[in-house]
Structure 1
């Protein structure tokens, strides 16, 4: 099976070569690598190009395409464009400051080809803090081990909407291309867009009753904690905090799992707001602005406690 990797790139000069090195070091190389530069201003694209000119001979069989955007369009646009350029059977995205373990492609391809998985979520390790997600012991009863560090989800929607799970953070999903062809990243948002995208892809996968959803643990994806990134951005005004897309998309949904996902995402978003708003006044304004959200969040929290 042909494996495609898409890297959205924007001002990651200190890190992009390490990310690329983690792909060059794979025990099984990808079929193609697509890099979409979202108008970097720090020389990131030039660094990537020079690095790829010096790769070992074995990597020269990989189809590489570098796309330079003429204007900054955001990470979702870059991912969508990158995906439309791929031709592999399996597709994954990796941010240009994160790192793959050397056996990731080999293990993921085996899960998909041998075990028949359609959609695989990767456990992640943040660095330098070494914090790991998901909370494996909390979700273990809903998993069936198929290989070392590899599992099939018995009830995928239940698992991915658990408070103890993380999907869409650090682009930690690998999937068959066919399931992604009708879904696109929301280009109007730049925060929690990955959670929204992969949840919609998962729902497409689960329309097929014979599909399988898996999880690969073992620190296969290391996600860098970068000061100043969107997940760690500091806000001077509560107006800068826009609603995560799942809270808008599923606001009127009666589906239990949509509600559970809104509960998880909403709780994380509120915690993020209180941690990163610059002043007590702005925190109060945030509460007033989104007062209608808090009763729903309590309801979703109580819902997550029920069987």
Structure 2
């Protein structure tokens, strides 16, 4: 199966060489590579062009395109633009500071063909600590073995709201391109935008066909824990913390799965805010400002218990 990889790039000069090296080491090379530079202010773009010039033969017949944006609009917008330029059967978005195991693309192609998957979630190895997520013991009731390190996810809409599950964090989803066609990333959002996007893709799949959703374990994705990443950002004022699109999109939804996912994201969001605001007064103002969400968040805590 043909596979397109889209890399949104913004100020990742320190990491992008490792990311690209992980692609030319693949036992099955990608068929398309789309790099979308979101107006980087470091030398990321120069590093990319130098790497491609020096290693172009290592990419084989891969069609490579570098798109240079003239306005910085965030990773969601860059991913949308990258996807519009692809023509492959499978697609994955690879962050510019993440790396693939050399066998991933071959393993993914085999799994999609043999098991007729619609979407694959990859477990994550966080570097440099080598912590692996998700915790399979906590997800046991949702998993049915399909192959070596590959599990069918039963009742995926319930599984993704489990606090031990991760879908849309880092670069850990591969899917058939046809399922993305009617969806786009929330271009302005930069906090949990991946979870919002992939949840909508998942619901679209399950509303169209029974859908086969799988979890591929075996440490095929390495995510670098970057100190300046948005998840670790410090704030001087509570208004700098954006409302995750999962919450704003489903605030008034009556759908149980929407409510559960919103509650799970809300829990992470509250913890993120309270850990990264500078003072108790800012934390109190944050809680007061978003007080209308508290009943929904508390409802989630009761349901998940």
Per the normalisation by structure 1, the TM-score is 0.97
Instruction: Measure, in 2, the Cα distance between the counterparts of 1:125 and 1:14.
Output: 19
Q: Which residue of 1 aligns with 2:173?
A: 173
Q: Which residue of 1 aligns with 2:153?
A: 153
Q: Which residue of 2 aligns with 1:144?
A: 144
**CA offset digits 1:13-66 (Å, max 9, x no partner):** 000000000011111111010000001111101101111112263423111000
Q: Which residue of 1 aligns with 2:216?
A: 216
Q: Secondary structure of 2:220's match?
A: strand
Question: Higher mean Cα deviation, 113-122 or 135-144?
Answer: 135-144
Instruction: Measure, in 1, the Cα distance between the counterparts of 2:56 and 2:271.
Output: 45
Q: Secondary structure of 2:123's match?
A: strand
Structure 2 unaligned blocks of 5 or more:
none
Q: Which residue of 2 aligns with 1:125?
A: 125
Q: Secondary structure of 2:55's match?
A: coil
Instruction: Measure, in 2, the Cα distance between the counterparts of 1:210 and 1:155.
Output: 11
Q: Which residue of 2 aligns with 1:201?
A: 201
Q: Which residue of 2 aligns with 1:237?
A: 237
Q: Which residue of 1 aligns with 2:275?
A: 275
Structure 1 unaligned blocks of 5 or more:
none
Instruction: Measure, in 2, the Cα distance between the counterparts of 1:60 and 1:39.
Output: 28
Q: Which residue of 1 aligns with 2:88?
A: 88
**Equivalent residues of 2:98, 2:171 under 8 A apart:** no
Q: Which residue of 1 aligns with 2:27?
A: 27
Instruction: Measure, in 2, the Cα distance between the counterparts of 1:257 and 1:4.
Output: 30
Instruction: Measure, in 1, the Cα distance between the counterparts of 2:24 and 2:231.
Output: 28
- In the comparison of the two structures, how many residue pairs are matched? 305
**CA offset digits 1:192-225 (Å, max 9, x no partner):** 1000000000001112334211110111111111
User: 1:49-60 residue pairs with structure 2 within 5 A?
Assistant: 49-55=49-55, 57-60=57-60
Instruction: Measure, in 2, the Cα distance between the counterparts of 1:44 and 1:97.
Output: 11
Give me the CA root mean square deviation.
1.1
User: 1:96-115 residue pairs with structure 2 within 5 A?
Assistant: 96-115=96-115
**CA offset digits 1:225-270 (Å, max 9, x no partner):** 1111111000000000111111111111111111110111000000
Shift of 1:188: 1.9
Q: Which residue of 2 aligns with 1:292?
A: 292
Q: Secondary structure of 1:55's match?
A: helix
Question: Higher mean Cα deviation, 196-205 or 162-171?
Answer: 162-171
Q: Secondary structure of 1:206's match?
A: helix
**CA offset digits 1:92-120 (Å, max 9, x no partner):** 00110011111111111111111100000
Q: Which residue of 2 aligns with 1:10?
A: 10
Instruction: Measure, in 1, the Cα distance between the counterparts of 2:10 and 2:141.
Output: 40
Question: Higher mean Cα deviation, 138-147 or 56-65?
Answer: 56-65
**CA offset digits 1:100-147 (Å, max 9, x no partner):** 111111111111111100000110111112222111111122111111
Per the normalisation by structure 2, the TM-score is 0.98
User: Structure 1 residues 275 and 3, CA, compared in 2 at 3 Å: closer, same or farther?
Assistant: same
Instruction: Measure, in 2, the Cα distance between the counterparts of 1:238 and 1:132.
Output: 31
Shift of 1:304: 2.0
User: 1:63-74 residue pairs with structure 2 within 5 A?
Assistant: 63-74=63-74
Question: Higher mean Cα deviation, 86-95 or 207-216?
Answer: 207-216
Q: Which residue of 1 aligns with 2:248?
A: 248
Q: Which residue of 1 aligns with 2:41?
A: 41
**Equivalent residues of 2:73, 2:188 under 8 A apart:** no
Instruction: Measure, in 1, the Cα distance between the counterparts of 2:123 and 2:39.
Output: 30
Instruction: Measure, in 2, the Cα distance between the counterparts of 1:198 and 1:286.
Output: 28
